[in-house]
A = this chain, B = another copy of it.
């Protein structure tokens, strides 16, 4: 059958690639380039300290809400990702065919999650997953857009009563943005069924729902006039239909707006829209119990790009920049919604597992936090060392090492310089540079007396302690 052809092709490809490799990329002169791959970056210790702080806040929130965590491989079978991302599929990183399976780097965490549920026949789980994903997009690194970046997802899968898990997702976004203290924010909420119903009653042809939806999605970056132009001129919508959409998508409110639209002559003609509007009402009643309605807005202009949403959608935006500088432009910092059909795409029998989830826009949050740290007077510590074991005189290496080991054994974070005879000044400088609060200074006299001198680096206050670490409460309770 086709197999012989395939093998022949493989052989030809291998030969040509080998030839290409021999020819080399330039005139044979090897110029070694010392860089990371395009669109990627290293994280230095300072960035890692900020990253750790942000992750801790987010993970604490997820755990407070009873989430488990899972992990999936960084690459999936290519076919697992096929047909899930529409046009964006061209941004997927493929691995080279080195014999064996065809593989691609994961593009998000949602599709691997759905594959995981289907593969393990899991019908309900509340899980978070924080990991890197890969997109061969045009990097805009100054604005926090990379080809390798973190996603930070929380999802609830399972057949439950309407809007309860959805409300918890919004509560989580609220808690995280509040705790990260990024400035004021707003969470926009809408429902795909309301959008579809609205398109129907405004006279948008069925086959244009998705493309008109994409255009509506641009309202956060474009004026209504431009959006209308795109609808009419590019997408061939009638001016009348566009104007009717324009009226709806300018509406914002809360439970009252949903109530109002349920009475709206046109909107109420769509069963879909009514189902969505009733759910928005129910959602807001739960959000009131969760005490988060002060930041949540029902906004009919919210569309969100992804195809797989089937119900409620939401997006959180910062309403003021996190800092005075304007160079980092941040918009959306979280988004998500309900996707009841995705897991069924993986199940051999098409069994559905309803899901709702949220993705925290962690890279944007990193950018803001880094910028905040930049302008702040407070220094970011990259280690947690509590005490530096130093000596003022020469030939005390052994005593320093011994005391340091005792501190380590007592669970105290301690450092010692890797020099036989370091100068006291350079030991103290290291403390100041890395923010170590205490220095234990050993000297001949102290050793004779069986004590160590403990100095507070910032104030230069000194106290003497007996060398036995177990009776040194200052060290143990830092």
Listed in ascending order, the chain A residues whose CB lies under 8 Å from chain B are 1-2, 5-6, 9-10, 12-13, 16-17, 19-20, 23-24, 27, 32-38, 40-45, 48-49, 51-52, 63-77, 79, 93-98, 100-101, 103, 105, 115-116, 118-120, 125, 127, 132, 134, 136, 148, 156, 158, 160-161, 164-165, 167-168, 171, 175, 285-286, 289-291, 346, 348, 382-385, 397-398, 401-402, 405, 408-409, 411-415, 418-420
Residues of B within 8 A of A346 (CB): 32, 34
* Contact B383–A76 (Cβ < 8 Å): no
* Contact A383–B66 (Cβ < 8 Å): yes
* Contact B405–A291 (Cβ < 8 Å): yes
* Contact B37–A76 (Cβ < 8 Å): yes
* Contact B20–A16 (Cβ < 8 Å): no
* Cβ of A120 to closest chain B Cβ, rounded Å: 8
Q: Which residue of B lies closest to A40 (CB)?
A: B73
* Contact B95–A93 (Cβ < 8 Å): yes
State in angstroms the CA–CA spacing of A298 and B193 once bound together: 71
State in angstroms the CA–CA spacing of A12 and B14 once bound together: 11
* Contact B1–A27 (Cβ < 8 Å): yes
Given contacts A418-B156, A419-B160, contact A398 B34 (CB under 8 A): no
State in angstroms the CA–CA spacing of A418 and B33 once bound together: 55
* Contact B158–A418 (Cβ < 8 Å): yes
State in angstroms the CA–CA spacing of A67 and B401 once bound together: 17
* Contact B116–A42 (Cβ < 8 Å): yes
Q: Which residue of B lies closest to A411 (CB)?
A: B64
Prevailing SS type, chain A contact patch: mixed
Given contacts A9-B20, A17-B13, A42-B72, contact A161 B420 (CB under 8 A): yes
Given contacts A23-B5, A96-B96, contact A165 B66 (CB under 8 A): no
| Of B51, B63, B77, B405, the contact of A171 (CB 8 Å cutoff) | B405
Which of A20, A132, A285 has most B Cβ within 10 Å? A20
State in angstroms the CA–CA spacing of A385 and B168 once bound together: 15
* Contact B419–A32 (Cβ < 8 Å): no
* Contact A48–B68 (Cβ < 8 Å): yes
* Contact A35–B119 (Cβ < 8 Å): yes
* Contact B37–A75 (Cβ < 8 Å): yes
Residues of B within 8 A of A67 (CB): 383
Residues of B within 8 A of A103 (CB): 37
State in angstroms the CA–CA spacing of A52 and B70 once bound together: 11
A–B pairs, 28, beta carbons within 8 Å: A1-B27, A2-B27, A6-B23, A9-B20, A12-B16, A13-B16, A32-B79, A32-B348, A33-B77, A33-B79, A34-B346, A36-B73, A36-B77, A38-B100, A44-B120, A51-B71, A64-B413, A66-B385, A73-B148, A74-B74, A74-B134, A74-B148, A98-B136, A160-B419, A161-B418, A164-B397, A171-B405, A286-B401
Given contacts A2-B23, A94-B98, A132-B74, contact A383 B418 (CB under 8 A): no
* Contact A37–B77 (Cβ < 8 Å): yes
| Of B34, B160, B290, B418, the contact of A165 (CB 8 Å cutoff) | B418
State in angstroms the CA–CA spacing of A265 and B2 once bound together: 70
* Contact A34–B119 (Cβ < 8 Å): yes
Given contacts A23-B5, A76-B36, contact A127 B398 (CB under 8 A): no
State in angstroms the CA–CA spacing of A73 and B133 once bound together: 11
* Cβ of A258 to closest chain B Cβ, rounded Å: 18
State in angstroms the CA–CA spacing of A437 and B283 once bound together: 30
State in angstroms the CA–CA spacing of A290 and B66 once bound together: 42
Closest 6 CB pairs of A and B: A160-B418, A45-B68, A40-B73, A66-B415, A94-B96, A43-B71
State in angstroms the CA–CA spacing of A405 and B167 once bound together: 11
State in angstroms the CA–CA spacing of A394 and B161 once bound together: 14
Q: Which residue of B lies closest to A59 (CB)?
A: B52
Residues of B within 8 A of A171 (CB): 405, 408
